[in-house]
Structure 1
Amino acid sequence: MATKDFRKINIDQYDEDVLLEEDLYDHDPRDPATVLAETKQKAAAVRGLIAKGDIAGALSSVLENAPYGPKVDDAKILNLQTILLLLNSTKTADIPSTIKALSSDAQDTLMKYLYKAMAMPGYADVNSSALLTWHEKLTDAAGIGCITRVMTDRRTV
């Protein structure tokens, strides 16, 4: 009888030229605790800006220095929840002007968060209709290149 243990061997451990995920991009240089603290401060500031009606300022604030890389999962989730709160509280008529006020890097980061939210089935804060509306307006403003840049970027939010 033949053994199937050969399938459990990690052959990459013997290869000197193996490409690891952490080698593909630079990690966030900040300490994970610092990233979480900054994300909590940013979330509180964004709630204040939403209360004042400054949606464009709140969105650019939350997209600036978004947490990425490993070991900052709590900060990523908190930032996603803040963005979902912001997206759900925006009027449909205000979306195009809000998107046009963003830089191209911020538009790309917003697209990353839209895809991340769409990939979370059953998540209570996800309003699929709002996400699809934001995606449509963002694609109109930023073009299809925005989608391509997001799909090829290794830095996940």
Structure 2
Amino acid sequence: MDVNFRKIDIDQYDEDVLNEEELYEPDRRDPSQVLNDTKAKSAAVRSALSKGDTVGALSTVLDQAPYGPNVEEAKNLNLQTLVSILNTTKATEIPGIVKALSTDAQDTLMKYLYKGMALPGWGDVSGSVLLGWHEKLTEAAGVGCIVRAMTDRRTV
């Protein structure tokens, strides 16, 4: 009995196969440029936080978030920068900050919240911080923000 038929990749013959690069517009920047941009954003965020501008810092880190292949280091750095903002923000300030963000920034923040929750042991941030931000973000942006974050193929 011939069982080699199970080792044939039949997807190579299918014209309707959906490739990852066809799902979204790729980032035009090369990975080294993305990392340099993320490092510059991290410095700008620290500066904004030292001035007490939490909304500006959050907007900076969420603007042009790194996505796509070969930019894992930039993604991790951006996540660490965002976590530092989340940890230093008082719970009473969160609703005003979330409402001040654009819809795209709110969707990106939701992606980062879910990425933080997916980390083993939740990384450097406590669960109550992430869940608190999630609650306030859902109140301000609605359930549509969750749906958009879950269905967008550009992962942060």
- State the alpha-carbon separation in 2 of the partners of residues 22 and 83 from structure 1: 27
Q: Secondary structure at the match of 2:120?
A: coil
Q: What does residue 117 of structure 1 align with?
A: 116
| Number of residues of Structure 1 aligned to a counterpart in Structure 2 | 156
* Displacement of 1:3: 5.0
- State the alpha-carbon separation in 1 of the partners of residues 57 and 119 from structure 2: 23
Tell me whether 1:36 sits opposite 2:56 in the alignment. no
Give the letter aligned to residue 107 of structure 2.
Answer: D
Give the letter aligned to residue 32 of structure 2.
Answer: A
**What is the root-mean-square deviation in Å for CA atoms of aligned residues?**
1.2
Asked whether the equivalents of residues 106 and 145 of structure 2 are also in contact (C-alpha less than 8 Å), the reply is yes
Q: What does residue 73 of structure 2 align with?
A: 74
Unaligned runs of 5+ in 1: none
Give the letter aligned to residue 138 of structure 1.
Answer: L
Give the letter aligned to residue 145 of structure 1.
Answer: G
Q: What does residue 49 of structure 1 align with?
A: 48
Q: Deviations over 1:95-131 (max 9, x none)?
A: 0011011000000000000001100012531211100
Give the letter aligned to residue 138 of structure 2.
Answer: T
Give the letter aligned to residue 128 of structure 1.
Answer: G
Q: Secondary structure at the match of 2:115?
A: helix
Q: Secondary structure at the match of 1:122?
A: helix
- State the alpha-carbon separation in 1 of the partners of residues 73 and 10 from structure 2: 33
> Matches of residues 5-154 of structure 1 in structure 2 within 5 Å?
5-154=4-153
- State the alpha-carbon separation in 2 of the partners of residues 123 and 141 from structure 1: 24
- State the alpha-carbon separation in 1 of the partners of residues 39 and 3 from structure 2: 49
Q: TM-score, normalised by structure 2?
A: 0.95
- State the alpha-carbon separation in 2 of the partners of residues 130 and 138 from structure 1: 12
* Displacement of 1:23: 0.8
Q: TM-score, normalised by structure 1?
A: 0.94
Asked whether the equivalents of residues 116 and 123 of structure 2 are also in contact (C-alpha less than 8 Å), the reply is no
- State the alpha-carbon separation in 1 of the partners of residues 23 and 35 from structure 2: 24
